[in-house]
Structures are given as structure tokens and as C-alpha cells.
């Protein structure tokens, strides 16, 4: 898909662990991070596919007009790149 060139990674988010507070849940932190991605920017997100479904993250990103790419996948940890084209 188009839009992969010309972005810069501005932050990294690790949502592999659970939080004891609902305001710091993985999906809440993920959604907040999406709101801060500007044009030409990207974030790296690490998540545990057993705790946080990849499809849920992908749908949330697409709903905000962002692109979602898996760049590394292991059993207990997936790393993806989420970006907004310039």
C-alpha cells in the first residue's frame, strides 16, 4: 500500500503487560497514542497477541485514518508500525 515512505518514528509503545488501573489499560494507552500521530509520523507498538488482538489494534488505527504494518512477529510479542502518510 502507498504511504510507507516519508515518515519518522516519533515514539514507541509497549502494551504487552496488563495494568491494574483501567485508565492505563493497553487499549486506552494505544488509543491515546494514535491521537498524537501527525502527518509523516509513525509509532512502534509492541503487544502480546494473546492479550490484545491484532485485529482490534488494526481496526482502531484504520478508523483514525492510519496505516498498520506488522514488522516482527513472535509467539508472545508482535511489533507493528502505525503511521500517517505525509
Alpha carbon distance 26, 3 (integer Å): 26
| Integer Cα distance of 24 and 14 in angstroms | 12
Query: Which domains are present in the chain?
Result: 8-83 (3.30.110.40)
pTM for the full predicted model: 0.84
The confidence score (pLDDT) of residue 1 equals: 41
3-state DSSP assignment of residue 32: helix
pLDDT band of residue 9 (cuts 50, 70, 90) is very high
The span from the CA of 31 to the CA of 15, in Å, is 11
Residues 6+ apart with CB under 8 A from 10: 36, 37, 38, 41, 42, 43
Query: What local confidence, expressed as pLDDT, does residue 23 receive?
Result: 61
- Joined together, the cell numbers standing for residue 41 give 509520523
Instruction: Give, as one character, the DSSP assignment of residue 60.
Output: H
Amino acid at each position: 500500500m502507498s504511504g510507507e515512505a516519508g515518515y519518522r518514528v516519533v515514539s514507541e509503545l509497549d502494551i504487552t503487560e496488563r495494568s491494574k488501573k483501567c485508565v492505563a489499560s493497553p487499549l486506552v494507552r494505544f488509543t491515546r497514542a494514535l491521537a498524537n500521530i501527525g502527518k509523516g509520523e509513525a509509532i512502534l507498538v509492541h503487544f502480546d497477541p494473546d492479550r490484545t488482538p491484532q485485529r482490534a489494534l488494526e481496526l482502531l488505527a484504520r478508523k483514525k485514518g492510519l496505516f498498520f504494518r506488522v514488522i516482527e512477529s513472535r509467539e508472545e510479542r508482535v511489533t507493528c508500525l502505525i503511521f500517517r502518510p505525509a
